[in-house]
Amino acid sequence: MPVLWIILIVLALAAVGYVLGSRRALQQVDGDIRQLHSRPSYYGWNVALYVMVPSFIVMLIWLLAQPLIVERSVSRYLPDEAISEGESRGLVLNQVGQVAGTLRAAINQDVLTRPEALSLTVDDQDRLDLMRENGLALLTQQPILDAAQHNLRITQAGATWLSIIVILLSVGGLAYALWRTNPEFRARNVVEQVIRYILIGCSSIAIATTVGIVLSLVFESINFFQLYPWTDFFFGTEWTPSFGGGSELGLLPLLWGTLYISFIALLVSVPIGLFAAIYMSEYASPRVRSFAKPMIEVLAGIPTIVYGLFALVTVGPLLRDWIAQPLNLGDTGSSVATAGIVMGIMLIPFVSSLSDDIINSVPQSLRDGSLGLGSTHSETIRQVVLPAALPGIVGAVLLAASRAIGETMIVVLGAGAMAQIDVNPFEAMTTITVKIVGQLTGDNDFASPETLVAFALGLTLFTITLALNIVALYIVRKYREQYE
Amino acid sequence: MTDTTPEFAPVDPSRREAKSLLAVDARTRRRNAAESRFKAYGIGAIAIAILALAWLVITILSDGLPAFRQTYATVPVTLSAEVVDPKGNRDPAEMSSVFTLSYGQLLTDGIKTYLAENSIDIPNLSDTDIADFFSDQARTTLRTQVLTDPEMVGQTVEVPALTSARVDGYFKGRVTMEQAAIDSRTSPEQLMLADALKDRGALETKFNWDFITNADASETRPEAAGLGVAIIGSAYMMLIVLALALPIGVAASIYLEEFAPQNRFTDIIEVNISNLAAVPSIVFGILGLAAFINFAGLPRSAPVVGGLVLTLMTLPTIIIATRAALKAVPPSIRDAALGVGASRMQTVFHHVLPLALPGILTGTIIGLAGALGETAPLLLIGMVAFVQDIPSAPPAGFFEPASALPVQVYNWTNRADPAFFERASGAIIVLLLFLLCMNLLAIYLRRKFERRW
């Protein structure tokens, strides 16, 4: 039975349980609500929760555990002879999974019936031809096909048992909760306790996401470092992946490109953002401010793909024709400068909004004191307000830097894909994010270092940005407390 | 104080004499000049930022607006029975054995007849020029029309046929006669033919609904490529994000804001949420690939995976906005509810939450707008695939391959034909229109429900 159906059945049972529960509570007191501990709807909710919560928990755990158990069982089923030399067990298991997927597709598209699929052998030319006609080519050896059929069989058995257990559980929950319903039963307290746990569960998703990110990055990176020495990755200066093997996968050219582009982006965004923030918080009349601030913040709401296209179509050719070619610095539109300048425009609002907040939080008494001593407005800003706001501004710049390092679409479209270490800003270079996209799009074989390197790159990126964010948040927060 | 001490030293008497209250001395002038310079930098910075925005918007609009108009040629085409229905029994099943190429011949013949009847003579116009004048899509469209309406066989019909991207580009100023002479895919004769047809009213450039409803087309026919699948894919993902991120985000915020004790566990959650808000989006793509596709076995290129990834990305935004909205509800509301005997849970769900709802909705819409424009994580989970079939209705459609608006833009920028750049900019206009609508809705909600306590 498909999972969707099971969910719908459980939900229907819950709805029935709600009606039965509240009605039963009312019946027991002959419609006199005052004799009930809680309002009738709480008795209904109590029953519905007893139906839903255990069955959904069991279902979730089952669905998460089933692939692991299936894989282990198939692995035990697969004889050692089936694994030819030079192949790992994981690779063969991957093949088994693909063959099983093809068989399942054949059953779903009514090309084969289930018994036919389960009894298929590699010599059965008629059925194989039938599958090929329907676009389901099956090229494999007998042991793998056997293992795939075994996989299909236990998955099927698992699905059957899952539906039986879940539905029994929800019916049982319904009966138990109805039996417990009586006027003294503290339904509201129970319901509220359950809701509280649900709320805690929802909050924990943030932790689950972080754990998921870290686990997926770390596990695949470990796989990568087993295939490729970590010293070559972290200290290699060559990036020449080739899917035939013998690749050089050095991080340094990518790191250089990333830092160089981010540096140019900050060179553009920090002065503009900072001066814009100073003007808006110190000089601008409320009317100018109410116009300029949202206009600048629009820049932050524009999707990065739009900036990417802008870099590719407009800014790149412009820089090439007006600066790079006349000065003999290069003749490519995709360059560090293109991506850096466009990214700088994107980052202006990040710098200006945060700086604006921080400048505004400098107490007026400091300004009054300085003005009272006879300094001009700009002297007050330069010598009193900015030094007081400096830690916060540094934090804002660090946050912008971590955005720049993690930015993808602008560099994918604007900076080119040449992995090189060069100081000329009009040369094409590439970044960590571009290479993650490059290595993971297209048909990937998850056993080759050329694909797995993307996870190591992701881990590097995650670590760098996380460190920057933590430092930045620490500085911003610590500074903000000073005047409170 | 030591820095300023010399200022108080006795001033040279000669300087003091020259000083009048009305005359501005050199030092003051310098300081005033510095003041106005400093102010000018600020104005300059704001001007640069706003000019950059204007430049961006104007470029996108001028590049992309032509994508909404498309050139169609309407010449009489004789659907001769021996070509389209060789067996002569008007049976669509048998007529479908006729290849689209034959329909292309019909279109070419139609143009030739038209030229002869109107005595238009274009020197050096070859048959290939006429054949390439139409888009490959035109003959497919014609074939589909005939198959759905077999009564058309044998008649002479005037149906608007899609012209090729170069002819279309000629009327939009993208292709010139000089370029056509060196371009292998068009010729000056073709453009002269286009001019001649235009003069007689047989060629018109009209609003291009197909751009919004069609699926993507292959590399060789940019004129037929549309956004239909991408819009549906984006809509499905937004539905998933809305259905998951809103309840989970609100529940998490309620716990953290109203019930959470100050302990280690809630501290970890808080730190996690603020960190997640700053994790680069591509890392979420890696998570989606590793967790949802490789581990959980969900299908590639499907809106369900995209929706889940974007949900995880959007959650911090929604949680931060919701907590601000909950915090803004004054304690007196809570006290009043507790005072008449409501439980804490009832206080929150019956009184605080409804009052915070406008703020929550505003934050959610802004989070959704961010998710709608996100590209990088979708590239990793395989949304770059070329999808021609419009996905079916949900929930089955959630598991079928689809595209997404920003990814479609990225796809088109990777193709060589300049006509695709026009399409990409056009797609961006659609995307920005959606974002604009969402933001306007958010502003409207905020204005309408804004409340002062």
CB contact under 8 A, A275 and B42: yes
> Distance, in angstroms, between B272 CA and closest chain A CA?
6
Instruction: Identify the pLDDT of residue B275.
Output: 86
Q: Give B292's DSSP letter.
A: I
Strands B156-158 and B76-78, bridge-based pairing = antiparallel
pLDDT digits (tens, 9 = 90+) for A42-79: 888 889 988 988 898 898 888 888 878 887 888 777 77
Mean pLDDT of chain A: 85
Cα–Cα distance, A405 to A464 (Å, whole number): 8
pLDDT at res. B353: 92
Token digits for B174? 């993208």
Of B42, B248, B413, the CB nearest to A309: B413
Residue B115: the pLDDT is: 80
pLDDT of the residue at A278: 93
Could you report the per-residue pLDDT of A399-424, keeping only the tens digit for each? Answer: 899 999 999 999 999 888 788 888 88
Say what the ipTM of the complex is. Answer: 0.87
For residue range A167-210, list pLDDT tens digits in order: 999 999 889 888 888 888 888 888 899 899 999 999 998 889 99
Among the partner-chain residues A199, A379, A402, the one whose CB lies closest to the CB of B254 is: A199
Q: Are A335 and A428 in contact (CB under 8 A)?
A: yes
Please state the separation of Cα A426 from the chain's center in Å.
Answer: 33
pLDDT given for residue B1 in this prediction:
46
* Alpha-carbon distances, residue A319 vs A309, A331, A334 (angstroms): 15, 9, 9
Tens-digit pLDDT profile for residues B244-268: 999 999 999 999 988 888 888 888 8
Closest CA to A376 of B67, B30, B424, B124: B30
Answer for the pair B229, B240: CB distance below 8 angstroms, yes or no: no
CB contact under 8 A, B382 and A441: yes
- What is the 3-state composition of chain A as percent helix, strand, coil, each rounded to the nearest 5? 75, 0, 20
pLDDT tier at A127, thresholds 50, 70, 90:
confident
A254 contacts A457 by C-beta, under 8 angstroms? yes
CA distance B397 to B333: 44
CA distance B382 to B439: 29
Sorted by sequence, the CB contacts under 8 Å of residue A204 that are 6+ apart come out as B269
Structure tokens of A12?
Answer: 């229907």
**Contacting residues of A for B275, CB less than 8 Å apart:** 210, 466, 469-470
Q: Torsion over CA of B410, B412, B416 and B422, rounded to 10 degrees?
A: -120
Of A285-289, A467-471, B217-221, B324-328, the least confident: B217-221
Helix (H) or strand (E) holding B71: strand B69-73
Indicate the pLDDT class of residue A348, thresholds 50, 70 and 90: very high
Lowest mean pLDDT among A340-344, B15-19, B147-151: B15-19
A309 and B297: CB-CB below 8 Å?
no
Find out whether A435 and A458 touch, Cβ atoms under 8 Å. no
Report pTM. Answer: 0.86
Q: Is residue A243's pLDDT more than 90?
A: no
The yes-or-no verdict on residue B32 having pLDDT over 80 is yes
pLDDT band at B430 (very low <50, low <70, confident <90, very high): very high
Cβ–Cβ < 8 Å for A408, A434:
yes
The 3-state DSSP class for residue A425 equals coil
Q: Which of B249, B289, B439 sits opposite A301 (nearest CB)?
A: B439
- Range name among A264-268, A444-448, B187-191 with the lowest pLDDT average: A444-448
Using 50, 70 and 90 to split pLDDT, how confident is the model at B39?
A: very high
What's the pLDDT at B6? 53
Write the pLDDT tens digit of every residue in A294-340.
889 889 889 999 999 999 988 988 988 888 888 888 788 888 999 99
Average pLDDT score, chain B: 84
Q: Is B121 helix (H, G, I), strand (E, B) or coil?
A: coil
pLDDT in tens, B387-420: 777 787 777 778 888 889 999 999 898 887 888 8
A144-176 burial string, b = 16+ CB within 10 Å, else e?
Answer: bbbbbbbbbeebeebbeebbeebbebbbebbee
Check A301 against B369: CB less than 8 A apart.
yes
Distance from CA of A446 to the nearest CA of B (A): 9
Strand-pair category, B161-162 with B76-78: unpaired
Residue of chain B nearest A459, judged by CA positions: B283
The answer to whether the CB atoms of A199 and B421 lie below 8 A apart is: no
Nearest-Cα distance to chain B for A211, in Å, is: 10
Minimal CA–CA distance to A448: which of A242, A239, A250, A144?
A: A242
Q: How many angstroms separate the CA atoms of A238 and A253, rounded?
A: 7
- Quote the percentage of chain A above a pLDDT of 70: 93
Nearest residue on chain B to A299, judged by CA atoms?
B53
User: What's the whole-number mean pLDDT along residues B232-250?
Assistant: 93
